[in-house]
Amino acid sequence: MLSDPITALATPPGRSALAVVRLSGRGAFEIAARVVPTYTPEPPRTAHLANFVDGDGMLIDRGLYTVFPGPASYSGEDLVEFSCHGGFVVPVRLVSALLAAGARAALPGEFTRRAVLHGRMDLLQAEAVGDLIDATATAQARAALHQLDGGLSRRLTDLRSALLDVEALLGYDIDFPEEDDGPVAPARIAERMTDLQDRVARLLATAPAGERLRAGALVVLAGPPNVGKSSLFNALLGSERAIVTATSGTTRDAIEAATEFLGWPIRLVDTAGLRESEDEAEQLGVGFSRRFVEAAEVVVACEAAGGEAGKRGSYAELESRRGGIVRVIMKADLSPSRLPRVPASGLHTSAFTGEGLDELKASIVRLAFGEQATLADLEPGLTRERHRIALTRAQTALREAMPQLSGRGDAVLAAHHLRDAARALEGLVGVVDVDEVLDRVFRSFCVGK
């Protein structure tokens, strides 16, 4: 049922000073009154201090509750937020008491889902709520806040109304076909269509960067064995994740770790040293390395320090791929005076002294996030596959409309394609309530959101 009362813990379970429990839906206030003997809905949006009790009148905790009458609440329904002490007992007892008093346990993302269904936010904003919660780097949080603020929604809504405008122009043409030149000059429609196609293409062009920002850029450390890749990996992460030994061929598997550099999300990968080997496990590891190098957004090409001759020569292999590459000369501490410090030859780093690590992080961010890193405020763009699929559908529909707009074309058919393009955008923003879309969007949410 759409508005049946639901409840859930909105904060992570476990030891904490405070926990927040939410209750939303029809009858929420009556249910709250069964758990709070002194319950009063007045004044709303104000914290009340009160005892919370279970069905037997046993004290659960003394805490705060706040009443948010719908529709001006997060979910758009009558909603009560309880803040109680955290830990393993109090929040669970409070939720149980609310369940016993008539609420049901909320499904993942159900509060936000209701916010969408009640028009408190659109689907893109709901996705942004999820992204904000899942953000591990500040740049991700910033982009999510921007989307939550409606930036992307506005861009798509504008596009949709531009589409409907053209459709209306066509409709005029269809209704008054006898007028030879037509009341609407074909050139005017053609011009508008070109503009629409440009706008769709520009939005689609934001998808790779947006998706990379959500997922994190894949950055792969690669190079000959024993040059210090795993040591650099650990130094960049600030923790001992990969095994380091003085023996060549230490790393066999690719090791991936999620981290952030200067507020940008990075998936950092340490790989097995690139060399021909007799050892089967090492050979397989080298195969992995090559695949990661292929897929990487940025490769850190690790070269032995000047003193360690004979470990050069793997650059050609790394540079033949497309995408960003940072050349790094390792173990700068070994022979600092003898090293040529020419910037063009690459960065000098030392996992032991920390030299060059900040420069390396900055170079990686520049390559991985390019213009986004220099833009103070991110332009709202696409961030998910779902967005890309919808925009691609709109693009195809516009393309199909084009031939129907010329002299011998069928204006009715053109209007049909435009409608299809508009519908693609509507499904994206959530103007239409497609249950399947909702399910997909909220599947990954946490309970209580």
Of residues 54, 211, 253, 333, which one binds ligand GTP by CB under 6 A? 333
Which of ligand GTP, Mg ion, none binds 259 (CB below 5-8 Å, type-dependent)?
none
Which of ligand GTP, Mg ion, none binds 226 (CB below 5-8 Å, type-dependent)?
ligand GTP
Which CB sits closer to Mg ion, 226 or 372? 226
By beta-carbon distance, which residue lies closest to ligand GTP?
Answer: 273
Of residues 244, 373, 431, 438, which one binds ligand GTP by CB under 6 A? 244
Which CB sits closer to ligand GTP, 222 or 398? 222
Of residues 248, 283, 392, 396, which one binds ligand GTP by CB under 6 A? 248
Which CB sits closer to ligand GTP, 181 or 278? 278
Which one, of 266, 276, 340, 337, lies nearest residue 303 by Cα? 340
Three-state helix/strand/coil letters over the chain: CCCCCEEEECCCCEEEEEEEEEEECCCHHHHHHHHCCCCCCCCCCCEEEEEEECCCCCEEEEEEEEEECCCCCCCCCCEEEEEEEEECCHHHHHHHHHHHCCCEECCCCHHHHHHHHCCCCCHHHHHHHHHHHHCCCHHHHHHHHHHHCCHHHHHHHHHHHHHHHHHHHHHHHHHCCCCCCCCCCHHHHHHHHHHHHHHHHHHHHCHHHHHHHHHCEEEEEECCCCCCHHHHHHHHHCCCCCCCCCCCCCCCCCEEEEEEECCEEEEEEECCCCCCCCCHHHHHHHHHHHHHHHHCCEEEEEECCCCCCCCCCCHHHHHCCCCEEEEEECCCCCCCCCCCCCHHHCEECCCCCCCCHHHHHHHHHHHHHHHHHHCCCCCCCCCCHHHHHHHHHHHHHHHHHHHHHCCCCCHHHHHHHHHHHHHHHHHHHCCCCCHHHHHHHHCCCCCCC
Structure token digits, residue 153 = 């929604």
Least separation in angstroms between residue 86's CB and ligand GTP is 41
Which CB sits closer to ligand GTP, 136 or 245? 245
Least separation in angstroms between residue 358's CB and ligand GTP is 15
Which CB sits closer to Mg ion, 125 or 251? 251
Which CB sits closer to ligand GTP, 170 or 227? 227
- Footprint of Mg ion (CB under 5 A): 229-230, 250-251
> Does 314 sit near ligand GTP (CB under 6 A)?
no
- Print the binding letters for residues 205-234 with ligand GTP: x by CB under 6 A, - otherwise: --------------------xxxxxxx---
249-278 residues near ligand GTP, rule: CB under 6 A? 249-251, 272-273
Of residues 22, 327, 331, 384, which one binds ligand GTP by CB under 6 A? 331
Which of Mg ion, ligand GTP, none binds 114 (CB below 5-8 Å, type-dependent)?
none
Least separation in angstroms between residue 223's CB and ligand GTP is 7
* Other Cβ atoms within 10 Å of 331 Cβ, number: 26
Least separation in angstroms between residue 244's CB and Mg ion is 7
Which CB sits closer to ligand GTP, 246 or 342? 246
Number of residues lying near ligand GTP (CB under 6 A): 23
Which CB sits closer to Mg ion, 247 or 320? 247
* Residues contributing to the site for ligand GTP (CB under 6 A): 225-231, 244-246, 248-251, 272-273, 330-331, 333-334, 350-352
